[in-house]
Amino acid sequence: MTKKATTIALGILTAIGMGMLLLVWQGYDPLDSYAAVFRYSMGSSFAIGVTLERTAIVAMVALAATTTFSSGASNLGMFGQILTGEIIATAIGVYLPLPGWLLIPAMLIGSALGGACMALIAGLLRKYFNMNEFITTLMFNFILDYFTEYLVNTSMRDPLMSWPMSKVIAPQGVMPRFFGFLDGSVFFALAILVISYILWKNTRFGYEMRMNGKNPIFANYGGCDAQGNFLKAMALSGAYNGLAGCLLIIGSGQQNRFVPGMGENYANEGLMIAIVANNNVIGVVLYSFLFSMLNAGATGMQLETSVPLEFITMLIGLTVMSVVSIREYSTTFINNAKAMAENRKFKKREVK
C-alpha cells in the first residue's frame, strides 16, 4: 500500500473510531448508528442513486476549489458561483422553449459561462487593480446571494407559491434517469472529472498550472504565462461551480426550481474536500463519495437511533482533521527518518 493510500485509510479509520467513542460517551450504540448510515445511503438502489447524485454535485465544487488551490489562486466564491449557475439554468429552463436535446446543453453551457464570468471578474480585479481575489470572491457571495434572492422575489417568482421561489423548469430540461435509479448528472460529472484529470496530468496546460501553483516565479522564468494561467484557473474554477449549480436544478432528484440560498452546504463541503484530498482529482472523487454517503444516511440514522444530524457534520470535520494531520505528521516523520539515515551513513564514512 502506498503512503498516500495508507494516509487516507488511517485518517478515515481514526475519524470513525473517534466518532464511535463520542457516540458511546453520549449513550448511543455506535454499531447501530453506523449501520443505519450505511443502510440509508447504500442499502437500496434508490439510496445509491441519491448518494451518487449528491456525489456528482459536491465533486464539481471540490474540483473547482482544487483547480484554484493547485494553481496558486484563491476562489472562495463557490457559493455565489453556484447561485449564478442555478439562476441561469432556471431562467433558461423556464423561459426558453427548446426540446430537451437542446435545452439541457443550453442550461449547462449557460451556467458554466455564468460561473466562469463571476470568477473571472475577481481575477481581472486582481490583475488590473491588485485586489486580492481571496476577498473579492468572498464578497461576491453576498452580492450574488442578495441579487438572486431579489430576482426570485420579483420577476422570477412563482405566483402560485407562498414562499419565494421560481417556477419549475420545463420537464424536458430535467436530466434523464438510467436503470431506474441513476440520475444523468452522475455520468456527466464523471465525464468532467475524467477530462479534468487528463487535462491536469497529461497536457501542457495542466503542467503550467501546477508549476504556477508550486512556484509562480520559477514558472514565469520558465516561459509560462503566469497572469494568463491565473485568469484561466479562475475562469475554469467558476465554470465548475456554475455546472454544480446547474446540476442542482436539472437533476431528476432535485426540486427543479430555484430556491434562495440553495447550495451553500455544497460550497462549504467542496472546500473541505479539496483540502483533505490535497488537490488530487482521484481524492476528490473518493472524499466526495464518502461525505455524500454520510450526509445521505444522516436522516435515516436520526430516525432509527435518535442520533442528531449534527453528528454527521462533526464526523466529517473529524475526518478532515484526521487525514490532514496524519498526512502532515507522516511527511515530517519520513523526512526525519531519511535525515537520520543519511546522518548515520555520513558518520560511518567519517569513521572509515
Q: What is the CATH number of the domain that holds 67?
A: 1.10.3470
pLDDT at 290 over 70: yes
Distance of alpha carbon 127 from its chain centroid, rounded? 26
pLDDT digits (tens, 9 = 90+) for 189-213: 999 999 999 999 889 888 888 888 8
In the chain, which ranges are continuous DSSP H helix? Answer: 3-25, 30-42, 45-69, 78-95, 100-129, 133-153, 184-202, 204-214, 216-221, 226-250, 264-276, 281-305, 310-351
- Is 9 a residue whose pLDDT tops 90? no
What is the distance, to the nearest Å, from the Cα of residue 312 to the centroid of all Cα atoms in its chain?
17
Residue 188 domain flag: yes
Q: Is residue 325 part of a domain?
A: no
Residue 142 lies in a domain: yes
The larger pLDDT score, comparing residue 14 to residue 125, is at 125
The reported pLDDT for the residue numbered 267 is: 94
- Please determine, for residue 85, whether its predicted confidence score (pLDDT) is greater than 90: yes
- What's the domain count of the chain? 1
Question: Residue 176: in which H helix or E strand, if any?
Answer: none
Kindly report whether the global pTM for this prediction surpasses the value 0.85: yes
Distances from the Cα of 204 to the Cαs of 63, 64, 200, 275, in angstroms? Answer: 19, 19, 8, 24
Residue 271 lies in a domain: yes
C-alpha cell of residue 338? 531519511
In a domain, 111, yes or no: yes
Identify the domain containing residue 295 by its residue range: 29-306
Average pLDDT over residues 243-255: 95
Residue 329 placed within a domain? no
Q: Which residue has the higher pLDDT, 345 or 32?
A: 32
C-beta separation of 305 from 28 below 8 A: yes
Tell me, yes or no, whether 293 lies in a domain: yes
Name the residue with cell 446543453. 105
